[in-house]
Amino acid sequence: MKTQHIEPFFATLKAANPQPNTELEYTSVFELLTAVLLSAQATDVGVNKATRRLFPVANTPQQILDLGLDGLERYIKTIGLYHSKAKHLMQTCRILVEQHQGAVPRTREALEALPGVGRKTANVVLNVAFGEPTMAVDTHIFRVGNRTGLAPGKTPLAVEMQLMKRIPAQYLVDAHHWLILHGRYVCQARKPLCWQCGVSDYCSFKPKTPKA
């Protein structure tokens, strides 16, 4: 993607969705952290179904600890990898209670020190909960960054660094959401919907024309 196309690319995405947000359901920073931690290799729809059962019963670190591991697993067993996710969430809740007075920390270092919280999860929390201009590169953003030519890279970190460097400052806070939604619903993995893409004029990808 040419440099001069980046601003109109994001201006078009913003015009179509001025106030984007995550599709994970949450009402507190801890609920967001929990939902993101549970969302690895799972869909937002699947996570929301589980947290709609869990959060009315336990939506603080201490309440999760009070459930116990078996109790927590019963609420999230519909999510893939729920055994390891439950273990990580319990360990995270214990650290939050013992080291952070039950609050979710606001620094990358403290977030990444929590079990099950890697760079991507920390970036989501920093961006969505605290309004930091971070870029959580999931499979959708990785694909969009490479396919459009906006931020080509062989690793999520390489794509993240490219995005942070190339996206104009006024779009950085919301860019994470625009790119995820674009990848989820338009720039899909197997069959990108180029014919209904509002930013195709700025994209480096050239779809194959169907054979006659």
Residues 79-122 have pLDDT tens digits of: 989 999 999 999 999 999 999 999 999 999 999 999 999 999 99
Please confirm, yes or no, whether 120 is among the known catalytic residues.
yes
pLDDT category of residue 206 using cuts at 50, 70 and 90: confident
For residues 148 and 130, what is the distance between their CA atoms, to the nearest angstrom? 28
The predicted-structure confidence for 123-173, as pLDDT tens digits, reads as follows: 999 999 999 999 999 999 999 999 999 999 999 999 999 999 999 999 999
Mean pLDDT within 72-78: 95
pLDDT for the residue 207: 74
Instruction: Delimit the CATH 1.10.340.30 region(s) of the chain.
Output: 29-129
Mean pLDDT within 189-212: 83
143 three-class SS: helix
Please confirm, yes or no, whether 154 is among the known catalytic residues.
no
pLDDT for the residue 211: 47
The active-site residue out of 2, 66, 87, 138 is 138
Mean pLDDT within 17-46: 94
For residues 16 and 155, what is the distance between their CA atoms, to the nearest angstrom? 29
Q: Extract the tokens encoding 123.
A: 């970036």
Mean pLDDT within 22-44: 94
pLDDT category of residue 16 using cuts at 50, 70 and 90: very high
Q: Extract the tokens encoding 53.
A: 């059962």
Mean pLDDT within 32-61: 95
pLDDT for the residue 30: 98
pLDDT for the residue 212: 43
- The answer to whether 95 and 115 have CB atoms below 8 angstroms apart is yes
CA distances from 58 to 53, 87, 103 (A): 9, 16, 15
155 three-class SS: coil
For residues 107 and 123, what is the distance between their CA atoms, to the nearest angstrom? 10
pLDDT for the residue 209: 56
pLDDT, the chain, mean: 94
pLDDT category of residue 41 using cuts at 50, 70 and 90: confident
Mean pLDDT within 171-185: 96
Contacts 24+ apart (CB under 8 A), 90-94: 90/64, 90/65, 91/115, 91/116, 92/33, 92/37, 92/61, 92/116, 92/117, 93/61, 93/62, 93/64, 93/65, 94/61, 94/65
Fold of 29-129: Endonuclease III; domain 1 (1.10.340)
Fold of 3-20+134-202: Endonuclease Iii, domain 2 (1.10.1670)
Q: What is the DSSP letter of 23?
A: S
The active-site residue out of 2, 44, 85, 120 is 120
Helix, strand, coil in percent for the chain, rounding step 5: 60, 0, 40
Which is more confidently placed, 208 or 56? 56
Mean pLDDT within 65-80: 95
Shortest CA distance to 93 belongs to which of 36, 27, 33, 26?
Answer: 33
